[in-house]
Chain A
Amino acid sequence: MRAYQDMVFSTAVRLTGNPAQAEDISQDVFLRAYESFDNLRSSPKAGGWLKTVATNLTLNHLTRHRKRWRLFSEIFSDDSREEELEASAESAAAVFDTVLTELEADERRALVEKALERLPDHQRIPLVLYHYEEMPYQDIADRLAISLAKVKTDILRGRVAMAGLLTPGGPGAPDDPRRSPSIPRGAQP
């Protein structure tokens, strides 16, 4: 269990953005693993099995609260601002570039974790599935029962929003000066 608990917890917390829920889900994952202990004990695929179960249980958990985040997604969805989004994508790329090149690993880790937690569910979930779980757009759309176009838009908006949260003085900027990296103002989305 010790070998896999960080991986299972990370999978859950990235998707939920909530450490307490992620701990509950991780517990459930290991209890299920215990039920299949005879098969998993000697299997080289135990890690993959645990990751798949963690992802599925987390998505099941999130689906139970689906109406809430879907509603917000629809309220805040604004497809008429495509030009603005295009401009934002360029400046967001500059923010991520700065985060990669100018921040220390520890500072970057803390900042990215917080930014991911603060993204709204309808952006964080497809973003995490795409970038961490390497799930194709169509699979994400099928799993979340939303359109392919919406998945792409939510992921793009999620990237831009995350850049905003990584920027000092941006919408997610914290008061804690340690979490305000030296990202140039010109790179803000």
Chain B
Amino acid sequence: MSSRDQSDEKLERLVTQVLRDQPLRRAPASLEARVLGELAARARLPWWRRGIATWPATVRVPVIAACAVCVPLVWILSLWVAARVVSVTSHPGVAGPLASLWDAGHALASFGTTLSHIVQSIPRDWLVGGIIATAVLYAFLFALVAVGYSLLYRPAYSKAYLT
């Protein structure tokens, strides 16, 4: 063993001994009061201001389900409204005053048809990719909400050392 290794080993041993001999540092007297105060403050929060993991299951499951079906519902609802608008404007009593709207609807319908042709010409793999991308966007949206919650509603103690 070289002299350097020997001196390094001796230093390591002595530092270990000095540090391990150190007693624990006494926690500040304010620590316990801070923890208890924070717990009390959390207990006073309504359930919807706490993390979603602590929400009652009877609320959490429907919320997650509602989030999952929200976008398809909006999509279907939009299509339904568009169809209703087209059918109403085609009625003779309404067609006259709404001729310009009818023209606009007609143009929109043509656009929809064109769009439909384009969608049908998209390869199947692309559609699958689109579905996956949508799922990823859902996850991203969920993460965004979680981050927003953390930044806006988490207590100040965590913000203090996040900054």
**A residues at B contact (CB < 8 Å):** 1-2, 5-10, 13-14, 19, 21, 23-28, 30-31, 34, 61, 64, 86, 89-90, 92-93, 96-97, 99-100, 105, 108-109, 112-113, 116, 127, 131-132, 156, 159-160, 162
Contacts and interface: CB of A to CB of B under 8 A. Distances in A.
Contacts of B15: 96, 127, 131, 159, 162
Interface stretch (B29-37, B82-90, B93-101, B133-141): B29-37
B27 interface: yes
Contacts, number: 103
Which of A2, A24, A64 has the most B CB atoms < 10 Å from its CB?
A24
Interface in B7-31: 7-8, 10-12, 14-28, 30-31
Contacts of A64: 161-162
Interface of B is mostly: helix
Contact of B11 (A7, A25, A31, A93): A93
Given A8-B27, A19-B28, A159-B12, A89 B7 contact: yes
Interface residues of B, number: 34
The residue among B19, B20, B21 with the most chain A CB atoms within 10 A of its own CB is: B19
